[in-house]
Amino acid sequence: MSVLDRFLAVWIGIAMVAGLLLGRLIPGLGDALSVIEIDNISLPIALGLLIMMYPVLAKVRYDRLDTVTGDRKLLISSLILNWVLGPALMFALAWLLLPDLPEYRTGLIIVGLARCIAMVIIWNDLACGDREAAAVLVAINSVFQVIMFAVLGWFYLSILPGWLGLEQTTLDVSPWQIAKSVLIFLGIPLVAGFLTRHFGEKAKGRQWYEDTFLPKIGPWALYGLLFTIVILFALQGEQITSRPWDVVRIALPLLAYFILMWGGGFLFGAAVGLGYERTTTLAFTAAGNNFELAIAVAIGTFGVTSGQALAGVVGPLIEVPVLVALIYVSLALRKRFTRSPAPVVS
């Protein structure tokens, strides 16, 4: 294990603190970084995510994807966790722990609807999950995100609260806004990774590609992750540090959400016999969220200074350290995990 991998938690902690300090101590830095965007998509964050995801997706063995698509237990489990239990759990936690703070509550519900299509790729890889399974589940989440995000937003913010006699709100988001996030943050690195493997193996062979090329580009995934964290927290450093008690209130349901979703996914995968690699993939894809989409929707609908936007920003502040810690939990469980036989394609 390289020094970069061994001290990952330390580097991420430094990146978070550095970003917060930069955003707090350098006047106008957040505004300057926010200007560098196209149609509400931050170019520095987009660049960091693309750099982070490309090496991992270049490692995927695309000729093995059929073994994942044939694993009905994995696919059905992921759909249930991501699109039934995840949004419902965040709705319940938001109303239970933030009944008096409607803006933050709405922001958290939006976070719960934005299923992860970016950072989960690297969390899964670091925890030695199944790369091919992660690629398939992220692609499925992307399709469902385009189709279901606005529908579920309408249901959880307007219809269900009305049925329960609770305060209602509305969410104005277009399918194109969601599709755009998917195309940029997943489509570009996915196509780049596939083409790199295809032409690399064709030109030099699989052994050269996996033994020589991949080790050279591998560290860039973590460089991209650290860069993204610094930029993300620099953008919102002043807002986060100037409202510490609000951040604490928002953090509590988020902390419960990430732990419960990951733990539920891991237990569910183990119970149905998915094996360590796919159980780990199921757990991380269930727990992760698409913070870029959640923040963009909150800002576009409610404004950059809104409580909904702050709740979206606090999402990665809690998600990053929690899921990094859960990587180590996964690796510890791996030593005891009894692998089940490889799933049979049916």
Token output for 72: 């009905």
Pair 301, 173: CB distance under 8 Å: yes
The whole-number average pLDDT for the span 279-296 is 89
SS3 243: coil
Give me the pLDDT at residue 310, please: 86
Residue 1: predicted pLDDT: 53
How confident is the model at residue 298, as a pLDDT?
Answer: 83
Q: 267: Cβ–Cβ under 8 A, 6 or more apart, which residues?
A: none
- Look at 50-54, 64-68, 324-328 and tell me which has the smallest mean pLDDT: 64-68
For residue 268 the two structure tokens come to 């569910």
Contact 236, 298 (CB under 8 A): no
pLDDT class for 172, splitting at 50, 70, 90? confident
Q: pTM (2 decimals)?
A: 0.83
* Overall average pLDDT of the 126-142 stretch: 90
Distance CA 75, CA 89 (A): 20
pLDDT for res 338:
54
Structure tokens at 35: 């200007």
Give 227: exposed, middle or buried? Use CB within 10 Å, 0-12, 13-18, 19+. Answer: buried
Of 20-29, 117-126, 189-198, 257-266, give the range with the top mean pLDDT.
Answer: 257-266
Angle, nearest 10°, between helix axes 43-59 and 131-154? 140
| CA-wise closest residue to 284 among 137, 176, 177, 161 | 137
Give the dihedral of Cα atoms 89, 91, 96, 97; nearest 10 deg: 100
Report how far residue 284's alpha carbon sits from residue 18's, in angstroms, rounded to the nearest whole number. Answer: 26
Least confident of 83-92, 124-133, 228-237, 309-318: 228-237
| Per-residue pLDDT at 147 exceeds 80 | yes
Q: How many helices (H) and strands (E) does the chain have?
A: 20, 2
**Structure confidence at residue 295 (pLDDT):** 80
Among 22-26, 29-33, 69-73, 94-98, the range of highest mean pLDDT: 94-98
Segment 108-123 shows an average pLDDT of 88
Closest CA to 116 of 159, 145, 151: 145
CATH code reported for the domain at 8-334: 1.20.1530.20
- Predicted confidence (pLDDT) at residue 11 exceeds the cutoff of 80: yes
Q: Which of 77-81, 179-183, 198-202, 322-326 has the lowest mean pLDDT?
A: 179-183
Inter-axis angle of helices 291-302 and 43-59, to 10 degrees? 150
Contact 237, 24 (CB under 8 A): yes
Q: pLDDT band for position 16 (50/70/90)? A: confident
Is residue 27 pLDDT above 80, yes or no? no
**Residue 49 confidence (pLDDT):** 82
Phi, psi dihedral angles at 41 (to 5 degrees) = -105, 120
pLDDT at 316: 83
Q: Is the pLDDT of residue 253 over 60?
A: yes
How many Cα atoms occupy the beta-carbon half-sphere of 247 within 13 Å?
15
66-90 tens-digit pLDDT: 888 888 899 999 999 999 999 999 9
Tokens (6 digits) for 14: 């430094």
Q: Mean pLDDT score of the chain, rounded to an integer?
A: 86
Each residue's pLDDT tens digit, 191-224: 999 999 999 999 999 999 999 999 999 889 889 8
